[in-house]
């Protein structure tokens, strides 16, 4: 292998670690969970809490007067329930959109139910109905309240008809099947699915009991829903109103703050001993969390952009102006993620192989063992590394020796980048917070500051390109002189390549900041006056709803991504059916459709829908069987049905987690509700003023948790709030609304019934889950396989661009990525992040068949994340690499050796297929790709026509050129990918197994000793 492509390893540390800051006890705020302390100290959060809290309290207050309670009926609590499930904590058009999906769900469920009732009445035995009515009329003759007797007969099931009930069951099953598919394939419509199912449950549970048409069974519920919508819209509009335009710009400013934090963090990274940034150390964790926070903030912005033009907003910038900012924000975020990965290069186990720091020796050893490189290296590779490490130490060009030069060379560039980001943020904040103020003085000031910082950043980039980058070469001046004189044959360039990685990354980050700053400056200069912006249209909403990533599924505690969501491009585009050719006639196409339906019926989404229907019919039957109809109505068995449906999940792990959260939330909500009721009402039916006051107090912490709790706690919080509402709401209604048939009770009676119904629903869904269980762990394995396939596609695509300098995405000379390629990187980053959640959730399946190797899967995710960062690094370097230099370096760039590329793709395929099928790998298939690189490089070096003198001269000239930084960065990126693939292979071998080949290791060692090329 040539000196240009030595594997970047870190060096030993001869310096002491920086002193540790004294640990302080911290204030009370620091002892609270971050999501609590952060929002308690935020003025914006208090405004949001006040709006949602008062809106929920008003929803209870409208239940208190007798007249409004009589109008709302026995489901008057539904307004309060909705205020907990969908609080007014969002911009007005987002709330309108969300509440519209809810109303559409109820309307669709009502429509299906009404169609079922019409069909059921058509098949009723009218003779039997008339006879039963006549019998009841005769029995009621002379009674003071004949309506009560007739009502009792209805809910006792006297008018049930088998044929009518069957029709109701068919329509109920059909409606629930549709809503189950909506929940599985369109997570953003989960709320619509849940409330549509509730509407069907209520209507079809009570509808068969009536002998005549009762199409208005849901009037009471919809009246309460309408009341809540009106209350919420009033508060969203008049209580601290916020448009999405304002919210989006505020989030964009927050994202720019995260950009600044990551860029400023590089100073701390460059001042840190490499041994103090190994995985698991505070700084390594800090850098990883900063990158994760940046990606999550970017995801939030990407998910809201479709709504920007759907509102009336007053301000300088319209929705299109803000949308235009998203692409440069994505560019900067992608490049900053790669820059932030320099910390991982510093802390890589191989970077610490030459000398172990006293405090981190065990960490380095464990990481080295995890990667498998220390154990599985061949004699050739170990010999090469030993010589390289010795040369680095001899010439004082280890990583720790060159870090001060990296810091010195990039100080001005980093400071200018931070200043420009700060100026962009200040400009956006000024535009966002001075919408209704006259004059442009503040915006003009911020714009002038941005132009000044942008000019300084351009100057810093030019200065670095012309002069400051040579500081990186200073540690190598002595060894260059020895190389020129012939005293040194090989120059240890590993640390220089690492320096170039950081410098090249920083350069492309700053170029991205320049693009962002130019767009912000142009927009601010163009939009000097505030005006009213009207909506533009409803495009892209259907695409948004169909997207598989959304927050709605958090309400039911599940992950609904299909197993093959990350299917690699080449599999989709080039995969053929090995069992049949493409259909050629109508019969073959029809048979193909049938085959596809059979295949779909085995998918997790289809099985979920089938189970949904089965559990619905099973728990619905007691309500329409004559012997149990009265008991089911009096005990409100419909809540057990609703609970079973909402606890049913696609994967067993989701469902078990759901049980824990829902049961815990139900218990807390029942206790909280009883405490509220008995404090406010004692042993009576409650005083209006006392209950209004006490409910206000008890609602405050519930609403706070509902709007600020992390997503993983959302299910429990919702169940706590729902149970609280049912206990207090039912107690007030049953104690103060006359004429209710079969009161549920007050206080304790409501609480224990609610608990029992929750337990029944959970037990029913548990039984269905086990027939058969769909393991989330298998899903984790399959998705990891798909992610690896996606990474292999990106590697092959970037390699193809490198091999074809005159064609491809980077041939236009504009030094930027095409949107399609950037979207693939962002999508893979999001999928890896989602897979982390899926992996954590899968632990809830327990260890019934044996312990699950969750540590291995978590480590595999880290490796995949490292691969993605390295591929981003590679793409950024190629985008800035001159096509002529790409072409001229092809012959002696060993990472582009065709045999080596084949080895890398083969390894990707082997580990992906092993994970996909669960089959073990074979020991003889294992190739340490770093060793293969040396092998292919050695063959190239011994090929005819290899001019050593010419290469020496060319190397000296290349190392000092600006373009060579990007070439070196691309090479290092490939080597980082290779290292990660090696480790992934080791992990997969531990997961899926490895078939041994007796004597293979011994023979390989003997062969390497005899045929070494070093």
Helix H, strand E, coil C: the string for 174-206 is HHHHHHHHHHHHCHHHHHHHHHHHHHHHHHHHH
Evaluate whether residue 392 is within a structural domain: no
Q: Are residues 96 and 233 in the same domain?
A: yes
Query: 747, 714 in Cβ contact below 8 A?
Result: no
The pair of structure tokens assigned to 124 is: 């009723």
Give the DSSP letter of residue 809.
Answer: T
Chain centroid to CA 885:
39
Of 699, 734, 769, which residue is a domain's last?
A: 769
Write down the pLDDT at residue 537. Answer: 56
Q: Tokens 């309290």 appear where?
A: 57
Asked whether residue 432 carries a pLDDT value surpassing 50, the answer given is yes
- Residue-wise pLDDT for 826-881, tens only, equals 788 888 888 888 888 888 777 767 788 888 988 999 899 889 888 888 888 888 88
pLDDT by residue (tens digit) across 539-555? 545 555 555 544 444 44
The set of residues, in sequence order, having a beta carbon less than 8 Å from that of 186 and lying 6+ positions away, is 545, 546, 550
Same-domain status, 189 and 212: yes
Average pLDDT over residues 113-122: 91
Nearest to 827 by CA among 872, 859, 796: 872
Q: What are the Cα distances from residue 651, in Å, to 91, 277, 615, 842, 844?
A: 33, 37, 16, 9, 11
pLDDT recorded at residue 255: 92
3-class secondary structure, 630: helix
- Give the model's pLDDT for residue 834: 82
The residue from 484, 515, 533 where one domain ends is: 533
The yes-or-no verdict on residue 592 having pLDDT over 50 is yes
Give rounded-to-5 percent helix, strand, coil for the chain: 75, 0, 25
Q: Decide if 69 is inside a domain.
A: yes
CA–CA separation, 931 and 900 (whole Å): 10
Q: How confident is the model at residue 814 (pLDDT cuts 50, 70, 90)?
A: very low
- Which pLDDT band holds residue 557 (cuts at 50, 70, 90)? very low
Residue of 503 and 154 predicted with greater confidence: 503
| Beta-sheet pairing, 921-922 with 994-995 | parallel
Last residue of a domain, one of 769, 804, 827: 769
Say if 567 falls within a structural domain: no
Mean pLDDT (the chain) is 80
Half-sphere exposure (CA, 13 Å, Cβ side) for 51?
Answer: 25
Least confident of 296-310, 577-591, 733-747, 814-828: 814-828
pLDDT of residue 7: 39
SS (H, E, C) 851-914: CCCHHHHHHHHHHHHHHHHHHHHHHHHHHHCCHHHHHHHCCCCHHHCHHHHHHHHHHHHHHHHH
Is residue 468 located within the same domain as residue 338? yes
pLDDT tens-digit map of 766-791 = 888 777 777 778 888 888 998 998 89
Q: Which one-letter DSSP state was computed for residue 631?
A: H
Q: Which residue has the higher pLDDT, 493 or 613?
A: 613
In the predicted model, is pLDDT for residue 374 greater than 50? no
Task: Please report whether residue 573 resides in a domain.
Answer: no
pLDDT attached to residue 712: 80
Cα distance between residue 845 and residue 652, in whole Å: 7
- Residue 298 and residue 192 share a domain: no
pLDDT surpassing 70 at residue 125: yes
Indicate the pLDDT class of residue 147, thresholds 50, 70 and 90: low
Scanning 73-210, the segments in alpha helix (DSSP H) are 78-85, 92-123, 126-140, 146-155, 162-185, 190-206
Reported confidence tier of residue 378, pLDDT bands at 50, 70, 90? low
Same domain (yes/no): 208, 252: no
Whether pLDDT at 584 is above 60: yes
Distances in Å between the Cα of 709 and the Cα atoms of 58, 184, 438, 704, 716 are 23, 24, 38, 8, 10
What is the arithmetic mean of pLDDT over 435-447?
A: 82
Q: Is the domain of 636 the same as that of 513?
A: no
pLDDT at 395: 72
Residue 461 — very low, low, confident or very high, per pLDDT cuts 50/70/90? very high
More confident residue, 202 or 295: 202
The reported pLDDT for the residue numbered 1013 is 45
pLDDT beyond 60 at 371: no
Kindly tell me if the per-residue pLDDT of 556 is higher than 70. Answer: no
Instruction: Please indicate, yes or no, whether residues 760 and 799 belong to a single structural domain of this protein.
Output: no
- Pairing relation of β-strands 313-315 and 531-533? antiparallel
Structural domain for 470, as ranges: 244-310+313-355+399-533
pLDDT in tens, 658-716: 888 888 999 999 999 999 998 988 777 778 888 999 999 999 999 999 999 988 888 88
Lowest mean pLDDT among 65-79, 270-284, 348-362: 348-362
- For residues 384 and 807, the model is more confident at 384
* CATH (domain of 463): 1.20.58.220
All residues at 6 or more sequence positions from 982 whose CB lies less than 8 Å from its CB, including other chains: 371, 372, 373, 376, 907, 928, 929, 930
**H or E segment and range at residue 313:** strand 313-315
pLDDT digit string (tens) for 50-109?
999 999 999 999 998 888 888 888 888 899 999 999 999 888 878 888 899 899 999 999
Would 955 be classed as within a structural domain? Answer: yes
> Looking at the structure, do residues 708 and 842 belong to the same domain, yes or no?
no
CB atoms near residue 536 (< 10 Å): 13
Residues 764 and 812 in one domain: no
- Residue 572 has a pLDDT of 54
761: in domain: yes
Distance CA 569, CA 868 (A): 16
Q: How many domains does the chain have?
A: 3
Q: What is the rounded CA–CA span in Å between residue 700 and residue 53? A: 6
Most confident of 327-331, 354-358, 423-427, 749-753: 423-427
Q: Please indicate, yes or no, if residue 541 is contained in any of the structural domains.
A: no
Whether 516 shows a pLDDT value over 90: the answer reads yes
Is this model's pTM higher than 0.85 or not?
no
**How big is the CA angle at 722 (ends 718 and 725), to the nearest 5 degrees?**
140
Most confident option among 645-649, 723-727, 799-803: 723-727
Residues 494-516 have a mean pLDDT of 89
**Max avg pLDDT among 62-71, 414-423, 559-568, 766-775:** 414-423
Asked if 234 and 261 sit in the same domain, the reply is: no
**Are 816 and 690 members of one domain?**
no
CA–CA separation, 642 and 198 (whole Å): 7
Do 322 and 252 contact (CB within 8 A), yes or no?
yes
Question: Packing angle between helix 819-842 and helix 282-304, nearest 10 degrees?
Answer: 120
Share of the chain above pLDDT 70, in %: 82
Asked if residue 320 and residue 252 are part of one domain, the reply reads yes
Is residue 177 over pLDDT 90? yes
The pLDDT of residue 940 is: 47
pLDDT at 774: 73
Mean per-residue pLDDT for 420-440?
A: 86
């Amino acid at each position: 292998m040539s000196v240009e492509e030595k594997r970047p390893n870190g060096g030993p540390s001869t310096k002491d670690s920086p002193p540790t800051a004294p640990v302080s006890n911290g204030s009370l705020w620091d002892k609270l969970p971050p999501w609590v302390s952060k929002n308690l100290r935020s003025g914006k959060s208090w405004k949001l809490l006040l709006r949602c809290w008062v809106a929920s309290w008003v929803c209870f207050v409208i239940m208190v007067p007798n007249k409004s309670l009589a109008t709302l009926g026995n489901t008057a609590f539904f307004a309060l329930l909705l205020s907990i499930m969908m609080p007014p904590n969002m911009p007005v058009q987002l709330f309108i959109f969300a509440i519209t999906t809810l109303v559409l769900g109820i309307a669709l469920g009502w429509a299906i139910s009404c169609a079922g009732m019409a069909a059921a009445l058509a098949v009723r035995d009218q003779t039997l109905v008339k006879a039963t009515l006549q019998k009841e009329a005769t029995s009621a003759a002379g009674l003071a309240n004949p309506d009560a007797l007739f009502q009792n007969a209805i809910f006792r099931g006297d008018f049930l008809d088998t044929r009518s009930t069957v029709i109701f069951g068919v329509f109920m099953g059909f409606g629930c099947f549709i809503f189950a598919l909506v929940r599985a394939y369109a997570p953003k419509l989960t709320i619509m699915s849940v409330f549509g199912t509730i509407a069907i449950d209520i209507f079809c549970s009570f509808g068969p009991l009536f002998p005549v048409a009762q199409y208005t069974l849901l009037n009471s519920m919809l009246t309460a829903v309408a009341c809540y919508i009106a209350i919420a819209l009033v508060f969203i509009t008049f209580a601290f109103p916020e448009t999405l335009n304002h919210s989006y710009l505020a989030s964009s400013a927050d994202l720019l703050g995260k950009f600044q934090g990551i860029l400023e963090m590089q100073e701390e990274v460059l001042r840190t001993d490499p041994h103090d940034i190994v995985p698991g150390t505070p700084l390594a964790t800090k850098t990883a969390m900063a990158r994760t926070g940046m990606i999550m903030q970017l995801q939030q912005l990407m998910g809201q952009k479709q709504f920007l033009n759907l509102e009336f907003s007053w301000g300088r910038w319209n929705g299109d102006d803000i949308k235009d900012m998203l692409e440069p924000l994505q560019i900067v975020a992608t490049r900053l993620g790669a820059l932030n990965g320099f910390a991982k290069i510093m802390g890589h186990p191989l970077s610490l192989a030459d000398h172990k720091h006293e405090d981190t020796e065990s960490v380095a050893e464990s990481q080295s063992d995890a990667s498998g490189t220390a154990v599985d290296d061949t004699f050739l590779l170990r010999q090469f590394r030993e010589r390289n490490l010795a040369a680095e130490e001899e010439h004082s060009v280890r990583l720790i020796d060159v870090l001060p030069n990296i810091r010195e060379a990039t100080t001005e560039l980093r400071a200018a980048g931070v200043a420009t980001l700060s100026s962009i943020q200040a400009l956006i904040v000024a535009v966002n917070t001075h919408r209704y103020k006259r004059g442009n003085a503040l915006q003009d000031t911020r714009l002038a500051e941005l132009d000044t910082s942008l000019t300084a950043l351009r100057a810093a980039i030019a200065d670095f390109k012309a002069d400051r980058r040579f500081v990186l070469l200073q540690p190598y001046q002595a060894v260059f002189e020895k190389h020129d004189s012939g005293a040194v044959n090989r120059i240890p360039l590993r640390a220089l390549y690492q320096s170039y990685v950081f410098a090249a990354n920083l350069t492309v980050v700053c170029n991205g900041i320049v693009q962002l700053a130019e767009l912000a400056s142009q927009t601010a200069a163009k939009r000097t006056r505030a005006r009213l912006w009207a909506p533009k249209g409803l495009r892209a909403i259907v695409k948004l709803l169909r997207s598989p990533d959304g927050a709605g599924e958090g309400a039911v505690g599940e992950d609904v991504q299909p197993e093959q969501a990350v299917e690699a491009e080449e599999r989709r585009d080039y995969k053929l059916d090995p069992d049949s050719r493409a259909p050629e006639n109508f019969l073959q196409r029809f048979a193909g459709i049938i085959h596809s339906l059979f295949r779909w019926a085995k998918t997790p989404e289809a099985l979920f829908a089938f189970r949904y229907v089965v559990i619905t019919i099973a728990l619905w039957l007691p309500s329409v069987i004559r012997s149990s109809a009265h008991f089911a109505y009096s005990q409100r068995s419909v809540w057990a049905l609703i609970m079973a449906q909402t606890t049913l999940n696609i994967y067993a792990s989701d469902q078990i987690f759901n049980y824990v959260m829902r049961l815990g939330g139900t218990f807390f909500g029942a206790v909280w509700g009883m405490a509220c009721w008995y404090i406010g009402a004692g042993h009576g039916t409650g005083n209006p003023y006392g209950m209004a006051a006490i409910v206000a107090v008890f609602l405050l912490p519930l609403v706070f948790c509902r709007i600020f709790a992390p997503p993983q706690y959302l299910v429990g919080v919702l169940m706590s709030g729902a149970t609280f509402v049912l206990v207090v709401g039912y107690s007030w209604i049953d104690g103060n609304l006359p004429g209710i048939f079969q009161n549920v009770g007050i206080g304790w009676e409501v609480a224990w019934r609610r608990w029992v119904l929750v337990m029944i629903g959970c037990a029913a869904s548990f039984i269905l889950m086990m027939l058969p269980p769909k393991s989330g762990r298998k899903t984790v394995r399959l998705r990891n396989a798909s992610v690896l396939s996606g990474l292999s596609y990106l590697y092959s695509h970037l390699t193809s661009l490198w091999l074809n300098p005159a064609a491809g995405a980077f041939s236009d000379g504009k030094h930027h990525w095409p949107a399609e390629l950037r979207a693939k990187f962002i999508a893979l980053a999001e999928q890896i992040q989602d897979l982390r959640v899926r992996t954590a959730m899968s632990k809830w399946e327990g260890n019934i068949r044996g312990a699950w190797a969750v540590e291995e899967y978590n480590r595999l995710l880290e490796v995949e994340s490292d691969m993605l960062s390295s591929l981003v690094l590679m793409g950024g370097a190629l985008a800035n690499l001159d096509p002529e230099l790409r072409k001229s370096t092809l012959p002696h760039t060993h990472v582009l050796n065709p045999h080596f590329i084949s080895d890398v793709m083969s390894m990707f395929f082997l580990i992906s297929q092993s994970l996909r099928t669960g089959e073990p790998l074979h020991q003889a298939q294992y190739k340490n790709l770093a060793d293969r690189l040396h092998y292919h490089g050695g063959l190239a070096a011994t090929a005819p026509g290899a001019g050593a003198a010419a290469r020496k001269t060319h190397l000296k000239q290349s190392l000092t050129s600006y373009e060579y930084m990007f070439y070196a960065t691309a090479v290092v990126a490939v080597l980082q990918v290779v290292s990660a693939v090696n480790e992934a292979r080791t992990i997969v071998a531990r997961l899926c197994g490895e078939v041994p080949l007796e004597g293979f290791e011994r023979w390989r060692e003997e062969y390497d000793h005899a045929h070494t090329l070093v």
